[in-house]
């Protein structure tokens, strides 16, 4: 079943934290398209108001400029909310290695604040963004829930702790929590700017500007690149999932595996560019290979991703050609 066919009761209200970010703004858009109310909570530290300006005239949409590190902001945002889709966090493995205390404050304390606010305000479901980085140095492919290694960065540790709190909040308080371990999400509105930008939008922007991108390492690292539509589906299906599936973590990906160097040359071909990349140092804390087993999410969440890498990258290229 496509997520567009998922229905919620009339008057259902969603809160999307980090709603002005890449994933958050796409979730806001999908919920509004269904005719439901959505509140976006964002402090605009990594999100961009441009991502949500297109909703500003929609009477079902509310924007709150607030911070998840502030419990009062979280409590106010959860008033009258049925479902929380918690995306607010600071991303980037290398940046977390430079700023561990900040990541602890935002990604752990902020998430705990949101869970506590959701509990106090009797929210039905708390669906939150985790990450494939929790698998750490576990070498086996595909990555499978329950078979994790030692984390390799403060960012990964924050997501691991969030998952522990999610499981506890379900066991102790009955808050229906769902951790979604995203695998390298890409698509429209993903920011190509900055030193820590995700690789696909960064490559696209540089190639469109006839610049040679820098590939960290040898380019032979592989990732389960996951188009944004699959992530929207996972969030909405988690909201409809049975209580037996709460308190757990789920891989959210397409279940494929793409090598970075192949993606680069594929983008060159699609954009009709003949630019050789430059190669830089491998990044500390990076996992070399990533590929998801999504059978648990299929079974427990009815997650059935329809967007392959090939289908998604075509849409992404078209979007960036129009919007960069």
| Residue 296 contacts residue 145 (beta carbons within 8 Å) | yes
The tally of CA atoms less than 13 A away on the side-chain side of residue 213 is 30
Active site annotation includes 155: yes
Helix (H) or strand (E) holding 205: helix 199-208
What single DSSP character describes residue 192? Answer: -
The tally of CA atoms less than 13 A away on the side-chain side of residue 80 is 7
Distance CA 288, CA 223 (A): 8
* Residue 150, number of CB atoms within 10 A of its CB: 10
Catalytic one among 61, 155, 250, 264? 155
Q: Distance from first CA to last CA of the chain, Å, rounded?
A: 33
Residue 278 main-chain phi, psi, to 5 deg: -100, 160
Distance CA 113, CA 122 (A): 14
| Residue 64 contacts residue 40 (beta carbons within 8 Å) | yes
The two three-digit tokens of residue 169, written as one number: 């909040």
Distance CA 238, CA 125 (A): 8
**Catalytic residue set:** 155
């Amino acid at each position: 079943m496509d997520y567009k066919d998922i229905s919620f009761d009339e008057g259902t209200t969603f809160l999307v934290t980090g709603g002005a970010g890449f994933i958050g703004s796409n979730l806001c858009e999908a919920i509004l398209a269904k005719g439901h109310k959505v509140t976006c909570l964002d402090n605009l530290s990594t999100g961009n108001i441009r991502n949500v300006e297109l909703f500003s005239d929609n009477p079902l949409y509310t924007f709150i400029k607030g911070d998840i590190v502030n419990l009062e902001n979280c409590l106010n945002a959860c008033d009258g909310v049925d479902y929380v889709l918690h995306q607010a966090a600071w991303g980037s493995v290398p940046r977390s290695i430079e700023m561990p205390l900040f990541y602890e404050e935002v990604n752990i304390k902020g998430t705990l604040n949101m869970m506590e606010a959701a509990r106090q305000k009797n929210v039905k479901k708390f669906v939150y963004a985790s990450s494939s980085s929790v698998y750490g140095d576990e070498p086996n492919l595909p990555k499978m829930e329950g078979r994790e290694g030692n984390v390799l960065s403060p960012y990964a540790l924050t997501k691991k702790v969030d998952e522990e709190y999610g499981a506890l909040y379900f066991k102790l308080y009955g808050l229906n929590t769902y951790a979604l371990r995203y695998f390298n999400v890409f698509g429209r509105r993903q920011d190509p700017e900055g030193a820590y930008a995700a690789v696909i939008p960064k490559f696209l922007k540089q190639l469109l500007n006839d610049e040679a991108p820098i590939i960290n390492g040898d380019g032979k690292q592989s990732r389960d690149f996951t188009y944004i539509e699959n992530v929207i589906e996972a969030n909405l299906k988690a909201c409809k999932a049975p209580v037996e599936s709460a308190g757990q973590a789920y891989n959210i990906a397409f279940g494929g595996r793409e090598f970075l160097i192949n993606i680069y040359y594929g983008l060159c071909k699609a954009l009709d560019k003949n630019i050789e990349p430059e190669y830089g140092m491998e990044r500390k804390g990076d996992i070399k290979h990533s590929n998801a087993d999504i059978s648990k999410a299929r079974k427990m969440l009815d997650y059935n991703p329809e967007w392959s890498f090939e289908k998604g990258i075509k849409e992404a290229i078209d979007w960036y050609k129009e919007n960069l």
